Amino acid sequence: MKEEEKKRLKTMPDETRGILWLKYFLLSLTIGVIIEVLAWVGNVYLFTPWWLVFVVLVILWGFIFGWLAMITRRCIILVQYIPGFILLFGGELLNNYYLNAWTFENGPLGNMNPVVRALVLGILSGFLIQIINEIMNQFYKLKLRVR
């Protein structure tokens, strides 16, 4: 891939900022819905109250992960990784020690030390921003080919 093409994929100059933000929001929200549905079906954790999952979907998955992916899309992989790690690692610790807004059922995560669980989930969630950005790059490549 040529340098100019790489730069174009990072900057996405054919997209207005508002449309680009909307695409990042919708993609991040979709990924969040998939993750939360799988967690619900697998009975991995439960939100208290139950409707809190919708707040988490819109705010955490849609807005926060979408915004972080959009603003870090031009950065190196490590810079994209760190916010996702910190977000879920910190969120899990905050929930475990103060909020108690979701609880893990039995199973690998339910029986795990809370700090280790936060570390495991933080490590995994660090990759989400990179995944979101790669999917956006693939959609943008497709858009450029269709033109």
Q: If you write DSSP's letter for every residue of 70-139 in order, what string do you get?
A: HHHTTS-HHHHHHHHHHHHHHHHHHIIIII--EEE-SSTTTTS-HHHHHHHHHHHHTTHHHHHHHHHHHH
% residues pLDDT > 70 (the chain): 99
CB 18 within 8 A of CB 24: no
Q: What 8-state DSSP symbol labels residue 63? A: I
Report how far residue 55's alpha carbon sits from residue 53's, in angstroms, rounded to the nearest whole number.
5
Asked if residue 77 belongs to a domain, the reply is yes
Asked if residue 146 belongs to a domain, the reply is no
* pLDDT at position 144: 86
Total structural domains in the chain?
A: 1
Model confidence, pTM: 0.93
Asked if residue 6 belongs to a domain, the reply is no
| Mean pLDDT score, 4-30 | 93
| Mean pLDDT score, 83-91 | 98
Report how far residue 123's alpha carbon sits from residue 11's, in angstroms, rounded to the nearest whole number.
27
* pLDDT at position 105: 83
Name the phi and psi angles at 121, rounded to 5: -65, -35
Give the chain's mean pLDDT: 95
Asked if residue 66 belongs to a domain, the reply is yes
Asked if residue 76 belongs to a domain, the reply is yes
Residue 55, token pair as written in the block: 């707040």
* pLDDT at position 6: 83
Asked if residue 65 belongs to a domain, the reply is yes
Asked if residue 7 belongs to a domain, the reply is no
Give the domain range for residue 101.
16-141
Report how far residue 85's alpha carbon sits from residue 122's, in angstroms, rounded to the nearest whole number.
4
Asked if residue 8 belongs to a domain, the reply is no
